[in-house]
Amino acid sequence: MEFSRRNFLKGTVLGGTAFSALGFDLAPVYAQTSSLKISRASETRSTCPYCAVSCGVIIYTIGDKAKNAIPQVLHVEGDPDHPINRGTLCPKGSSLEQDILNDRRLLKPQVRRPGATDWEDISWDQAYEEIAQKVKKTRDDTFIEQDANGKTVNRCEGMAFTGGCTDTNEFNYLAVKSMRSLGVCYLENQARV
C-alpha cells in the first residue's frame, strides 16, 4: 500500500477503534496528542520591536532549562494581559517568529569593499577593528569645535547613526550615549518611523 498522509490518518483512526474495542482506555492518549505544542514551553514576556506602538508579546521556548539542549523558539503571540495590544498583533508583529527562526538571518558581520560586487564574511574582531579605525579617522577629519560665529559646538557632522527596529531599549541607550560622546548629532532609529 502506498504510504500517504491520508492512509496514515485512516490507519490511526481504525487502529484507535480496534484498541477501544479491546477495552483499552485511549482517552489519555488522545488528550496527549491534542495538547498544544506550547504546553511545556517557557513563556517570556517581551515587546514587539518593529514600531513605536510597543505591543506586548509572549515568546515560547523549549530547551532553555535542560542541560545539553539547544534552546529553540516555538511560537510568538500577542500578550493578552498587555494594556497596549491586549493580545492582538498587526501582520508585522505576527511574523516575529519568522524574524527569529530564519535561515536567511545574518549571524556574522559582512563587508562589501569599495568597487566589489559581493559581500565578504569577516570575523567580529576584524569588524570591530575596521569600524574603530574608520570612526576615528572620520571624527578626526570632520570634528567641528566652533561654528562660523565662534560658538563652541563640539560636533561631528561626518557621521550618522541609525538603529534597527529590533534594537532593545538598552542597546539604544548605549548607542545614544556613545554617539553623543563622539559629537555625532545625526541620530535616528527606525522604530520611530
| List of residues contacting ligand SF4 (CB under 6 A) | 48, 50-51, 53-55, 85, 89-90, 92-93
Q: Which among 188, 187, 182 has a CA at the least distance from the CA of 141? A: 182
| Collapsed DSSP state (helix, strand, coil) of residue 139 | helix
The three cell numbers of residue 58 are 509572549
Residue among 89 and 159 whose Cβ is closer to ligand SF4: 89
- Tell me how far, at minimum, the Cβ of 151 lies from ligand SF4, in Å: 40
- Sole residue written with cell 579617522: 137
Q: Which among 37, 45, 43 has a CA at the least distance from the CA of 65? A: 43
Question: What is the rounded distance in angstroms from the CA atom of residue 96 to the CA atom of residue 186?
Answer: 29
Residue among 95 and 146 whose Cβ is closer to ligand SF4: 95
The three cell numbers of residue 74 are 516555538
- Tell me how far, at minimum, the Cβ of 48 lies from ligand SF4, in Å: 3
Residue among 28 and 91 whose Cβ is closer to ligand SF4: 91
- Tell me how far, at minimum, the Cβ of 84 lies from ligand SF4, in Å: 8
- Tell me how far, at minimum, the Cβ of 32 lies from ligand SF4, in Å: 33
Residues 6 or more apart from 12 whose CB is under 8 A from it?
none
Say which DSSP state 173 is in: H
- Tell me how far, at minimum, the Cβ of 181 lies from ligand SF4, in Å: 30
Q: Within a 10 A sphere around the Cβ of 32, how many other Cβ atoms?
A: 9
> Closest-CB residue for ligand SF4?
93
Residue among 14 and 53 whose Cβ is closer to ligand SF4: 53
Residue among 38 and 90 whose Cβ is closer to ligand SF4: 90
Question: What is the rounded distance in angstroms from the CA atom of residue 157 to the CA atom of residue 161?
Answer: 11
